[in-house]
Structure 1
Amino acid sequence: MRWAALMLALVPMMASAQDEAAVGTGAVLRGLEKVSGDLVEMNLRPGEEASIGPLTVTLRECRYPLGDPAADAFAFVTIRDESEAQPIFSGWMIASSPALNALDHPRFDVWALRCSTE
């Protein structure tokens, strides 16, 4: 019961937070191959894909705080492994908290850096 009351109290705050976000024209993501230490920087627009090893990273959307494009980025990303039928990750990655909603892969890491605005 407390959980339901808490969620009802948070809904108006979440709605106002969404109103205060702007949508970027793309996102900058970074990938790490853990064995070799190779880094891959991916500049993606919504709907575009990039590869890191057997993984395909697709950007759906990137949001940032209104009026401050250099601030925190929230990127909605889908990641597929060529050996899996279903995506291995689909959700929002938060630049300031990469571990909050992270890709769980033994060999690769992918995280959001910032939104593009041009």
Structure 2
Amino acid sequence: MRHRSKPTVRRALPALLGAVFALGTSLALPPLASAARVSNSVAVFSGIDKITGRITTFDVYIGETVQFGALQVTPRVCYSRDDTEAPKTTTFVEVDEITLDRKIRRIFTGWMFADSPGLNAVEHPVYDVWLKDCKAKSDLPPPDTAQAKPAQ
């Protein structure tokens, strides 16, 4: 004895699926909540000199280059969120190394995340650098009113 499915079920299934799809796409769903990112003018980095074990925290204005040991750190943007939102602090940064023969070599270009410092930190044989925070102002004068000074 052969078992056959009923022809009415076969015909009804595509119509039923189409109706469910149409209903699902026509429902007015609220837009996803998206926290607005706040653009900051200062990125706050920490760096460690592995020889001395000294950790230094330093502010860098967006577009400014600050030297930390043999590294030059230049943040391009620094984003955070409002205090009422979950923290998410990021920066896009370029890091160059000054080699022993005084040449400049790019060793890092990319995003750093303050909540995951080990994810995209700059790891150098002597120096490590990672993002700590972003902020709107610094105690240091902006680079157009003062010369860029070494962080160390």
TM-score (norm: length of structure 1): 0.75
Superposed CA offset, 1:53-86 (max 9, x none): 1111111110012455893310111110012544
Alpha carbons of 1:50 and 1:70: their partners in 2 closer, same or farther (altered >3 Å)?
A: farther
- Which structure's residues are more often strand, by fraction? 1
Match for residue 65 of structure 1? Answer: 81
- Structure 1 unaligned runs (5+)? 1-15
Q: Please give the residue correspondences for 1:11-90 in structure 2 after superposition, counting only pairs within 5 Å.
A: 20-68=36-84, 71-83=87-99, 85-90=104-109
Match for residue 104 of structure 1? Answer: 123
Larger-gyration structure (1/2): 2
Alpha carbons of 1:32 and 1:70: their partners in 2 closer, same or farther (altered >3 Å)?
A: farther
TM-score (norm: length of structure 2): 0.59
Equivalent pairs, count: 103
- Structure 2 unaligned runs (5+)? 1-31, 138-152
More displaced 10-residue stretch of structure 1: 48-57 or 77-86: 77-86
Superposed CA offset, 1:77-116 (max 9, x none): 1110012544101111100101111213111110111111
Shift of 1:51: 1.2
Aligned structure 1 segments of 4 or more residues deviating by more than 2 angstroms: 16-20, 66-72
